[in-house]
A = this chain, B = another copy of it.
Amino acid sequence: MALEHAILVSLLEKPGSGYELARRFERSIGYFWTATHQQIYRVLKRMESDGWVDVRDVPQNGRPDKREYSVAGPGRDALSAWLRRPTGPESVRNDLAVKVRGASFGDPAALISEVERHRGAHTDRLAHYLAGAARDFGERSPDRPLDAECELQHVVLRGGIAYEQMMIAWLDDVLATLAGLEARR
């Protein structure tokens, strides 16, 4: 269980409201951990009552007030304890792999458009990552290295890029295999 930890990391990078966190989970953090606003509000409430975060009501002109959360001492401790604690093997959930394996009992060709759709989604995401990498980490001089926070954000982004490239290559392999089966019939 790590939604609270993902929220702590995000709040350490910048304090914000539940709504703002939900936005961030559609971008940046959301690329390696998904959550909806309902989940976030629920967890924020629990973390507040556990003393992991502080809240501050921020009045805004012409807009509803927002409750801005920031990480408190116990939250920081909980995060650094979690960093050290071994995390179990990730649970994999790959619909498409199940579908590909299931295709042999149905019509393999029927899967082609679905695989192409996924390929498109991964291509879009890759382009998005590459643009972000160029924007945020493009102009680095070797004699003036970035700080730790930046370096670590960059290595996570490189992971996202490697993942998307791997997926696109694999989906091409799947498409070639499906086409081969089709041609053979």
Q: Which residues of A contact B (CB under 8 A)?
A: 2, 5-6, 8-9, 12-13, 29, 31-34, 76, 79-80, 82-84, 86-87, 89-108, 110-111, 114, 117, 121, 145, 147-149, 151-156, 158-159, 162-163, 166, 169-170, 173-174, 177, 180-181, 184
Partner of A33, one of B89, B93, B111: B93
Interface centre among A91, A110, A158, A159, by most B CB within 10 Å? Answer: A159
Q: Is there an interface contact between B79 and A106, defined as CB atoms closer than 8 Å?
A: yes
| Interchain residue pairs with CB less than 8 A apart (26) | A2-B95, A5-B98, A9-B101, A12-B102, A32-B98, A33-B93, A33-B98, A79-B106, A80-B107, A82-B102, A83-B99, A84-B111, A87-B96, A90-B94, A90-B95, A90-B96, A97-B156, A104-B148, A148-B181, A155-B173, A155-B177, A158-B173, A159-B174, A162-B169, A163-B170, A166-B166
Taking CB atoms, residues of chain B closer than 8 Å to A107 are: 80, 83
A7 to chain B, nearest CB (A): 10
Residue of B nearest to A97 (CB): B32
How far apart are the CA atoms of A145 and B173 in the complex, in Å?
Answer: 16
> What is the copy number of this chain in the assembly?
2
Q: Is the CB of A83 within 8 A of B101?
A: no
How far in angstroms is the closest Cβ of chain B from A22?
A: 15
- A6-B90 Cα distance, complex, nearest whole Å: 18
Closest-CB distance, A24 to chain B (whole angstroms): 12
Contact between B32 and A94, CB atoms less than 8 A apart: yes
